[in-house]
């Protein structure tokens, strides 16, 4: 006895999903590991795609991604550690952006430095005034002036609203300024880690600072620096008496590469006295490699003076401050 079997073909039927009869069709062939996608709106025809999921579950061929929500990444993105770089972004965004205290402008080209614009405290200490500097170079420069009152121990200063530079990103900093001090003045011009009000105290006790100053142990303009503790280190004594600078324009330049343990400095003194018709230009430069603010210490611009023991007016004159930081990523 023999039995004949007849082959039959039936369409697949889906058990209740999708609303179709299950007769989905596709191309005659496919590319291994590529994801299929619908062709048209009928819900029954598939086509190939260029998105590949290989046997190790790596995805390639995605040319664009539009999504909402958060992305959680374990590992690196294009060789960058997202957790580390994200922390740097958090540091940068920690400023009070809502008040435009700090703004960033990147020139064309991803490798160009970032320019930092900063806002100065509008409630600066001291009286805004026009100060006669004896016909010196300062009288030829645009400047803002603050003056102490005539009682001993009174203060005048300018400072940025926020701290905006730190060593881990590196910076280039240039400040032009002048002062008309009393005989016993205390003064500071440079970078400092606080925007809190200074007092009539020896500048030698400032921590986390780099700048030009007159400290109690010297009558001259000195370049000082300090880390988070102790008293300042004097990197340079210019030999220029601090109380003889009414006609002088000073420039302080500081350069710290990203993550570097050293700061390169240049100090310039420029003067023109109309009475004697003589010009003076002096410059000092060098490198500081110890007793510096840490790489993670934020710094802001400060220009400060107190008349200390003398019941006379003392003045600080702000001309220019320019700061640039290296790119974030």
Main-chain dihedrals φ then ψ at residue 217, nearest 5 degrees? -80, 0
The answer as to whether 250 is a domain residue is yes
The answer as to whether 199 is a domain residue is yes
Please choose, from the candidates 122, 124, 143, the residue with its C-alpha nearest in 3D space to the C-alpha of residue 317.
Answer: 143
For residue 113, what pLDDT band results from cuts at 50, 70 and 90? very low
pLDDT digits over 280-327, tens only?
A: 688 999 999 999 999 989 998 999 989 898 888 888 887 788 888 765
% of the chain at pLDDT higher than 70: 69
What's residue 143's pLDDT? 62
pLDDT digits over 140-169, tens only?
A: 555 677 778 888 888 888 888 778 787 888
How many other CB atoms are found less than 10 A from the CB of residue 148?
Answer: 29
Q: Is residue 271 within 8 Å of residue 178, measured between CB atoms?
A: no
Q: Mean pLDDT throughout 69-83?
A: 74
Q: Picking from 72-86, 100-114, 217-231, which range would have the lowest pLDDT averaged per residue? A: 100-114
The answer as to whether 20 is a domain residue is no
The answer as to whether 29 is a domain residue is no
For residue 138, what pLDDT band results from cuts at 50, 70 and 90? very low
Q: Mean pLDDT throughout 243-254?
A: 81
Domain range for 130: 117-325
The answer as to whether 284 is a domain residue is yes
Instruction: With a cut of 50, say whether residue 58 has pLDDT above it.
Output: yes
What's residue 314's pLDDT? 84
Instruction: With a cut of 70, say whether residue 257 has pLDDT above it.
Output: yes
- Round to whole Å and give the CA distance between 224 and 209: 8
Does the pTM surpass 0.85? The reply is no
What's residue 233's pLDDT? 98
Number of domains in the chain: 1
The number of C-alpha atoms within 13 Å of 280 and in the hemisphere containing its C-beta is 17
The answer as to whether 197 is a domain residue is yes
- Looking at the chain, the number of H-run helices and the number of E-run strands are 1, 22
For Cα atoms 110, 115, 116, give the angle at the middle one, nearest 5 degrees: 135
Please choose, from the candidates 247, 248, 219, 255, the residue with its C-alpha nearest in 3D space to the C-alpha of residue 234.
Answer: 219
Q: Mean pLDDT throughout 68-81?
A: 76
The CATH number assigned to the domain holding 209 equals 2.60.120.200
- Round to whole Å and give the CA distance between 205 and 162: 22
For residue 43, what pLDDT band results from cuts at 50, 70 and 90? confident
Q: Mean pLDDT throughout 21-40?
A: 83
The answer as to whether 65 is a domain residue is no
The answer as to whether 127 is a domain residue is yes
Mean pLDDT of the chain: 76
What's residue 215's pLDDT? 95
């Amino acid at each position: 006895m023999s039995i004949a079997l007849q082959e039959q073909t039936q369409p697949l039927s889906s058990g209740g999903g999708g609303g179709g009869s299950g007769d989905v069709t596709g191309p005659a062939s496919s590319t291994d590991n590529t994801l299929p996608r619908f062709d048209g709106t009928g819900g029954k025809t598939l086509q190939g795609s260029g998105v590949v999921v290989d046997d190790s579950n790596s995805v390639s061929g995605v040319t664009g991604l539009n999504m909402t929500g958060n992305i959680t990444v374990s590992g690196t993105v294009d060789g960058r550690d997202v957790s580390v770089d994200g922390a740097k972004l958090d540091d940068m965004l920690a400023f009070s952006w809502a008040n435009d205290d700090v703004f960033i402008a990147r020139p064309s080209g991803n490798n160009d430095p970032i320019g930092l614009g900063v806002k100065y405290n509008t409630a600066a200490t001291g009286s805004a005034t026009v100060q006669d500097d004896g016909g010196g170079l300062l009288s030829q420069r645009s400047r803002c002036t603050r003056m102490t009152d005539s009682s001993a121990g009174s203060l005048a200063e300018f400072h940025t609203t926020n701290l905006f530079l730190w060593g881990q990103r590196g910076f280039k900093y240039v400040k032009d300024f002048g002062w008309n001090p009393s005989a016993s003045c205390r003064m500071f011009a440079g970078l400092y880690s606080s925007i809190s009000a200074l007092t009539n105290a020896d500048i030698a006790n400032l921590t986390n600072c780099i700048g030009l100053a007159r400290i109690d142990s010297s009558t001259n303009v000195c370049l000082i620096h300090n880390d988070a503790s102790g008293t300042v280190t004097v990197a340079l004594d210019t030999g220029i008496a601090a109380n003889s600078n009414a006609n002088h324009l000073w420039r302080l330049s500081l350069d710290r590469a990203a993550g570097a343990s050293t700061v390169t400095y240049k100090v310039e003194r420029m003067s023109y006295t109309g009475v004697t018709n003589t010009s003076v230009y002096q410059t000092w430069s060098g490198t500081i490699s110890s007793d510096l603010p840490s790489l993670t210490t934020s710094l802001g611009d400060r220009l400060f003076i107190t008349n200390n023991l003398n019941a006379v007016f003392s003045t600080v004159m702000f001309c220019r401050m320019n700061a640039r930081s290296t790119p974030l990523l």
